[in-house]
Amino acid sequence: MTNISNYILPVFLLIIIGFGLYKRIDVFAVFIDGAKRGFDVFLSILPSLTALFLAVQMLKTSQGIDIITKVLSPIANFLKIPVETLPMCILSPISGGGSLSIYESIISECGPDSYVGRVASVMMGSTETTFYAIAVYFGSVGIKKIRHTAICSLCADFTSFILAGLFVRLLFY
């Protein structure tokens, strides 16, 4: 079953190119024409990603996460979020790579089939990097005001963190 995900990408490509040929399109020329736009995207998101990565690196290297974890532990306990997953939850809205490496260490310490391991897996499987999305998408169109985006996205993330434990308890225990 894990292998299924390995077939998604090739089949996706097969459908796009196959359908293009079927419609008698010069797939090669059309592909190259579209690929040129990749450069504009690259240039338009670089500034906002630089800003994001500065903040992420500073938060990681200063070990500020430890301080936030300590402060938020009682709240996590109250909401039945396993404290082990807290650093991952805090980092996941700003850094996909950072939260993934914490996730890996949780899995190797607690085991993938433990309660904490399962909750962490569901959390990782149900969230995206909120501020990365904000930086990339708004950066690409040169918008600096984000209105209610961050609040609403963080509400969605928060929902995932609370519900992950609940659904794991309902389905497995």
Partner 1 sequence: MMNYIWAVIIIFSVVSSLLNGTSNALSTGIITSGNTAVDLCLTLLGTFCLWNGLMNVAEKSGITKIISKIMSPVICRLFKGIDKDSPALEPICLNITSNLLGLSNAATPIGIEAMKRLSNNNTNKTSPSNDMVLFVVMNSAALRIIPSTVAGIRASHNSANPLEIVLPSILVSFCALSVGIIMTKLTERFF
Query: Taking CB under 8 A as the rule, does residue 129 contact partner 1?
Result: yes
Question: Which residues 87-116 are close enough to bind partner 1 by CB under 8 A?
Answer: 93-94, 100, 103-104, 107-108, 111-113
Alpha carbons 23 and 12: distance in angstroms, whole number: 17
Query: Taking CB under 8 A as the rule, does residue 83 contact partner 1?
Result: no
Query: Taking CB under 8 A as the rule, does residue 7 contact partner 1?
Result: no
Q: Name the minimum Å distance from CB 78 to partner 1.
A: 19
Helices (DSSP H) in the chain: which residue ranges? 4-22, 27-35, 37-61, 64-78, 86-91, 96-110, 115-125, 130-140, 149-172
The answer to whether the beta carbons of residues 167 and 80 sit under 8 Å apart is no
Question: Which residues 9-68 are close enough to bind partner 1 by CB under 8 A?
Answer: 9, 12-13, 15-17, 19-20, 22-23, 25, 27, 30-39, 41-42, 44-46, 49-64, 66-67
